[in-house]
Amino acid sequence: MGKKREVDDRFKKFGTVSFASTTKVNDFVSHLDEGKVTGTRCKDCGAMFFPPRADCYKCLTSNMEWFDVSGTGKLVSYSKLEYAPVGFEGDLPYSIALLDYGEYKVFGRLANDLSSEEVEVGMTMKTVVNELPNGQKNYVFEKA
């Protein structure tokens, strides 16, 4: 790596920061390659974020560390998509879903091999890394 880049923290002057520096959260993709789904935790207040954030909006600090999304979560909600955003048409149909891990929530997709009869709100699920036919990685929710 080259010289350390100066952190542009002008956004801290705003109350709530919804700005995430992509360079700092690109490790998320490397972690997927290692078979891990990760979020970030604020070292100052302990708040956990998924998707990972480079800054804590509560403390306005960048004092963050990675954690593994492990164990199980509860399915809060899901929805089968018949229409997809541009770029995702080839994936249809698929279901987006939200898992509640207690301290944080994970938004993602249900595994494609789950039938709708198998899925119900409140069920226990886990987040796993999934390899796509083109070699890219994403993550999906499976029955725990």
Q: Write out the residues near Zn ion by the rule CB under 5 A.
A: 42, 44-45, 47, 56, 58-59
Sorted by sequence, the CB contacts under 8 Å of residue 10 that are 6+ apart come out as none
Which residues, in sequence order, are bridge partners of residue 49? Answer: 40
Shortest spacing between CB 129 and Zn ion, in angstroms: 27
Tell me the CA distances in angstroms from 113 to 2, 94, 95, 107, one per residue in order: 45, 10, 11, 18
Shortest spacing between CB 46 and Zn ion, in angstroms: 7
Shortest spacing between CB 51 and Zn ion, in angstroms: 16
Question: 3-class SS at 54?
Answer: coil
Cβ nearer to Zn ion, comparing 32 with 42 = 42
Q: State the distance between the two ends of the chain, measured CA to CA, in whole angstroms.
A: 40
The whole-angstrom separation of Cα 92 and Cα 13 is 42
Cβ nearer to Zn ion, comparing 58 with 80 = 58
Cβ nearer to Zn ion, comparing 42 with 106 = 42
Shortest spacing between CB 63 and Zn ion, in angstroms: 8
Cβ nearer to Zn ion, comparing 47 with 98 = 47
